[in-house]
Amino acid sequence: MTLTNNSKRRKELVSIAARLFFEQGYERTTVRMLADAMGIKSGSLFHHFNDKQEILCAVIQDGMESALEIAGEKLTGVTDPKERFLALARAHLSTLLTDRNAHVVALYEWRSLSEGSLEVLIGMRDEYEQLWQQVIDDCVTSGVLKGDVPLIRRFTLGALNWTVQWYDASGEKTPDDLANALAELIGIQL
Amino acid sequence: MTLTNNSKRRKELVSIAARLFFEQGYERTTVRMLADAMGIKSGSLFHHFNDKQEILCAVIQDGMESALEIAGEKLTGVTDPKERFLALARAHLSTLLTDRNAHVVALYEWRSLSEGSLEVLIGMRDEYEQLWQQVIDDCVTSGVLKGDVPLIRRFTLGALNWTVQWYDASGEKTPDDLANALAELIGIQL
DNA sequence: GTCTATAATAGGATAGAC
DNA sequence: GTCTATCCTATTATAGAC
C-alpha cells in the first residue's frame, strides 16, 4: 500500500526529503534530486508517495510532531512561569537549529501545501501555538510579562523563527544561549 | 537596450512582478503569469529582462531601496534613542505591511537569487542592517536597552519580519501599533 | 515595445518488468 | 520495493515580423 503508510522505509525517505527541502526549499527541489539523495530512481519514489506535495506534507507533519514532542518533554515538571518560558524557547530553538530540518520546513514551506494537506496540519500548528499561548499567559498573569498575549507570542515566535536565517552553528553561541538572550531582552530573568 | 535600464515602463513591470512574487512566491510565479498581469505576451517580457531571475533581482533591489529611503526619512531630525528606535521599527513595518510587496520579497526570496545578483544586493542589505545596528547601539549606550547589540538587532528584525506571516490588514491594529507594542515588549517606552 | 510561433528542456508522473 | 522506459505538460527562452 502506498497511501499515508508509516513504514520505516518511508520515514527514512521523509527524513532525507526534509534535509533537501531545508537546504534548497521545496520548489527548487526536484523529485529527481530527492530520488538521487535517497539512492533510488525517481519512478520508485511514487511507490511511497502519491505525488511530490505529499512528501512535503509528510515532512511538515514530522516537523510539527517533533516540535510538539520536544516541547512537551522540556515542559514536564517545570512549574515556574519564567522557567516554562525558557524551556519552551529552548525546545523551539533546539528543533529549529539542532535537528535543523523538518521543523524549519514546517515553518517556511507552509504556502506550498495543497488545500487538502493544510486541513490536517492546521490542527497541529494550532496545538503548538496554544502551548505558547498558555505559557505566555501564565507569565502575564504572574506579572513576569506585560502586554497583549497573542502579540507577545507572535513577536517571540517571530524572533525565534528568524534565527534560521542567520544562526551559525559553528559560532560560539548555542541555541540555549539564544533562548536566554531573548528571554532577557523581554525582561525575563531567573 | 535591455540590460538593467531604468525606463518608466520597466519600473511598472517590476512593481507588478513584486506583487505576484509577494502573493505566490518567486518559484511558483511563471513568466506567463507575470506577462498576463502586465498585459503583454510572455515573449515580450524578455525585451525588458534577460531572464526570470533578473526580474527577481530588480524587485529585491527596489525593495531594499524603498526600505532604506523610508527609514532615512523617518529618522531625519529624530535624536532621542528611544524615538529613533520607534521610528525605524515603524518605517520597517510600513514598507513590509503597507507597501507590502517589494520589501517582503527582498526578505523572503533571497535564496532564489543567482550568485551574480547577490553581490550587488548584499551591500544594500548590509547598509540597512547597519542603520539598525547604530540605532540599537545608541539605545544600549544610553541605557535604554541592555544586552548584545547584534543579537538585539536580529531578534528585533526577526519579530518584525515575521509579522508578514500573520498580520491582517483588515484587523484593528495598524503597523504603528505593532511597532509600539514591540518596543514596549523590550522595555522601550517614551 | 509587442506580437506570433516555436525551440529546448526540465519537471512531475505512469506502466509494466523484475 | 526498485528499475527502465517513457509520456505529457509546463516552463523558460529565442527569432524574426510588425
Query: How far is residue B16's CA from residue A186's CA, in Å, rounded to a whole number?
Result: 39
Q: What is the pTM of this model?
A: 0.97
Q: Which residues of B touch A151 (CB under 8 A)?
A: 178, 181, 185
Tell me: pLDDT of A23 over 50.
yes
- A interface with B, Cβ–Cβ < 8 A, is 24-25, 27-28, 111-112, 145-148, 151-152, 154-163, 165-166, 178, 181-182, 184-187
Q: What is the pLDDT of residue A120?
A: 85
pLDDT digits (tens, 9 = 90+) for B59-106: 999 999 999 999 999 999 999 999 999 999 999 999 999 988 999 999
Q: Which residues of A touch B181 (CB under 8 A)?
A: 147-148, 151, 155
Q: Give the other-Cβ count within 10 Å of A1's Cβ.
A: 5
What does the alpha-carbon distance between residue B176 and residue B179 come to, in Å, rounded to a whole number? 5
In this prediction, residue B60 carries a pLDDT of 98
> What b/e readout covers B148-161, taking b as 16+ CB neighbours within 10 angstroms?
bbebbbbbbbbbbb
Residue B5, pLDDT above cutoff 80:
no
Cross-chain CB nearest to A28 (options B27, B154, B185): B27
pLDDT band at B4 (very low <50, low <70, confident <90, very high): low
Q: How far is CA B99 from the centre of its chain?
A: 9
**Beta strand extents in B87-181 (DSSP E only):** none
Q: Is the CB of B171 under 7 A from strand D?
A: no
Give the three cell numbers for residue B23: 502573493
CA distance B6 to B101: 19
* The pLDDT of residue A4: 58
Is B186–A186 a contact, with Cβ atoms under 8 angstroms apart? Answer: yes
Residue A2 has pLDDT above 60, yes or no: no
A87 alpha carbon, distance to own chain's centre? 15
The C-alpha cell that represents B107 in the structure block:
526578505
With beta carbons less than 8 A apart as the criterion, state whether B151 and B86 touch: no
Percent of chain A predicted with pLDDT > 70: 97
Which cell numbers in the block locate residue A134?
498558555
Cα B183 to Cα B190: distance, rounded to the nearest angstrom: 10
Q: Chain A, 26-65: which CBs lie within 7 Å of strand D?
A: 35, 39-44, 47-48
CB contact under 8 A, A185 and B184: no
pLDDT of residue B68: 98
Which chain A residue is nearest to residue B183, measuring alpha carbons? A186
Length of chain B: 190
**Tens of pLDDT, residues B8-35:** 899 999 999 999 999 999 999 999 999 9
B3: Cβ under 7 Å from strand D? no
Cβ of B50 less than 7 A from strand D: yes
* pLDDT score for B99: 87
The arithmetic mean of pLDDT across residues B50-59, rounded, is: 98
What percent of chain B has pLDDT above 70? 97
Cα radius of gyration (chain A): 18
Q: A2-16, A28-42, A58-72, B43-57 — which is least confidently predicted?
A: A2-16
At residue A159's C-alpha, the angle toward residues A131 and B70, to 5°, is 140
Those residues with Cβ within 8 angstroms of residue B125's Cβ, 6 or more apart along the chain or in another chain:
B64
Considering only CA atoms, which of A72, A58, A71 is closest in space to residue A101? A58
Q: What is the pLDDT of residue B41?
A: 98
Q: What number of other Cβ atoms are within 10 A of residue B5's Cβ?
A: 11
Say how far B102 CA is from D16 C1', in Å.
Answer: 35
Determine the distance between B4 (CA) and C13 (C1') in angstroms.
39
